């Protein structure tokens, strides 16, 4: 098999949570361009449906699914829907996430639960359900979207709950990778730096200049900057890679 063939996802199926917009939408497109059938799952069904329709232009099968990733029964139904439609699940990208700024001394229990619920519990619920299918079939690749904030205390935004959740995503994924490594299922994390998305747009006018000045490449990332690394981790090109956190931050964590 040639090296380019090893990056192909033809005849494979994929599921992307948070797939309706932002990073998730861009990663869903990368998988479709590589030949995978793609299920776009999102809390916003209309956004998932729009993305699924757009992906059909790449000649692949698509699904749109509404899911709240903090609801275990909905996550299970999502995975079952993909399996029922296509008979297998080869790639899963768990991208659904939220962020909110709050000083640590003012952080309420409700704010903690909301962020950690989506950003960490959601990853756990999805990985558990996806992993069960992949373990049964003896193969699969799971990519959990973490953040460089899982390794550093980012600035100037104050979001200790977000940092803690993303650090948890990295370590939880490493734990699953170790447990499943000899059973055919790989688990890795992708940790973006400051990336221009609908979620970051509100903070960019006040914080964007600080983000850029702290980034050696002197620009914010785009969702498309994450596509190549995602395809690598999803495909046979990374067949010997598991438990790895791939940071894509324009050099931010170098300083």
Q: Can you give the pLDDT at residue 140?
A: 98
pTM for this one?
0.97
Segment 67-75 mean pLDDT: 98
Q: Can you give the pLDDT at residue 98?
A: 94
Segment 10-33 mean pLDDT: 97
What does the pLDDT look like over 121-177, one tens digit per residue?
Answer: 999 999 999 999 999 999 999 999 999 999 999 889 999 999 999 999 999 999 999
What DSSP character marks residue 7? T
State in Å, rounded, how far the first CA of the chain is from the last one: 40
- The residues facing 141 across adjacent strands are 91, 186
Burial state string for 107-121 with b = 16 or more CB within 10 A and e = fewer than 16: beeeeeeebbbbbbb
Segment 199-221 mean pLDDT: 89
Determine the Cα–Cα distance for residues 20 and 45; give it in Å rounded to an integer: 8
Q: Can you give the pLDDT at residue 199?
A: 75
Confidence of residue 200 (pLDDT cuts 50, 70, 90): confident
Q: Catalytic residue positions?
A: 162
Burial state string for 215-248 with b = 16 or more CB within 10 A and e = fewer than 16: beeeebbebebbbebbbbbbbbbbeeebbbbbbb
Determine the Cα–Cα distance for residues 212 and 196; give it in Å rounded to an integer: 11
Determine the Cα–Cα distance for residues 94 and 77; give it in Å rounded to an integer: 15
């Amino acid at each position: 098999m040639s090296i380019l063939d090893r990056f192909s996802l033809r005849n494979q199926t994929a599921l992307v949570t948070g797939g309706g917009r932002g990073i998730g939408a861009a990663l869903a497109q990368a998988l479709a361009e590589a030949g995978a059938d793609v299920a776009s799952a999102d809390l916003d069904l209309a956004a998932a449906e729009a993305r699924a329709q757009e992906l059909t232009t790449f000649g692949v099968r698509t699904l749109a699914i509404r899911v709240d990733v903090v609801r275990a029964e909905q996550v299970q139904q999502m995975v079952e829907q993909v399996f029922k439609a296509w008979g297998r699940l080869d790639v899963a990208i768990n991208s659904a996430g939220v962020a909110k700024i709050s000083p640590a001394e003012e952080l309420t229990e409700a704010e903690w639960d909301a962020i950690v619920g989506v950003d960490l519990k959601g990853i756990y619920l999805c990985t558990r359900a996806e992993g069960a299918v992949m373990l049964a079939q003896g193969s699969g690749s799971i990519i959990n979207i973490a953040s460089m904030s899982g390794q550093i205390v980012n600035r100037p935004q104050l979001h200790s709950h977000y940092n803690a959740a993303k650090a948890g995503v990295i370590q939880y994924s490493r734990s699953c990778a170790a447990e499943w490594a000899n059973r055919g299922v790989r688990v890795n994390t992708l940790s973006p730096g400051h990336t221009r998305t609908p979620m970051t747009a509100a903070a960019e006018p006040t914080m964007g200049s600080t983000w850029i000045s702290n980034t050696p490449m002197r620009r914010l990332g785009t969702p498309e900057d994450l596509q190549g690394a995602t395809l690598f981790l999803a495909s046979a090109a990374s067949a010997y890679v598991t438990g790895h956190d791939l940071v894509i931050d324009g050099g931010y964590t170098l300083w």
